[in-house]
Amino acid sequence: MTGQSSRSQRVYHCLTMRLAIDLRSPVPSYQQLAGQLRDAIASGEIRSGEALPSITAMTQETGLAVGTVRHALRSLADEGTITIVPGRGSFAR
């Protein structure tokens, strides 16, 4: 097979980030998204105190459901990687 179906993998650019959700992966989409955001923070691509893309921007860019994006953000907040400020956004720690 020379290429993958567009349904098997979605690749998106979110600001300067490239988000890739593999729909065939056994890893849930929210964990894939959380992992990519975590990696971007750890690498300095998203600096401490810097805002992450909005939930709306990530849902529009990735095609994921709002609940899936919120789940990813909540898992990052629970582990202390980001801070969620209601009405303001999510920020890297």
pLDDT in tens, 45-61: 999 999 999 999 899 88
Q: Is residue 56 part of a domain?
A: yes
Whose CA is closest to 12, among 63, 51, 55? 63
Q: Is residue 30 part of a domain?
A: yes
Q: Is residue 19 part of a domain?
A: yes
In this predicted structure, the answer to whether residue 23 has a pLDDT above a threshold of 80 is yes
Distances (CA, A) of 85 to 19, 20, 64, 82: 23, 26, 21, 10
The tokens describing 45, both together, are 């691509």
Single pTM value for the model:
0.82
Q: Is residue 76 part of a domain?
A: yes
Q: Is residue 47 part of a domain?
A: yes
CA angle, corner 16, sides to 83 and 10, nearest 5? 90
Print the domain residue range for 65: 9-92
Number of domains in the chain: 1
Instruction: Give the domain CATH number at 32.
Output: 1.10.10.10
In this predicted structure, the answer to whether residue 28 has a pLDDT above a threshold of 60 is yes
Q: Quick check: helix, strand or coil at residue 61?
A: helix
pLDDT of residue 10: 46
Q: Is residue 22 part of a domain?
A: yes
pLDDT of residue 9: 52
Contact 46, 37 (CB under 8 A): yes
Q: Is residue 4 part of a domain?
A: no
Average pLDDT for the chain: 86
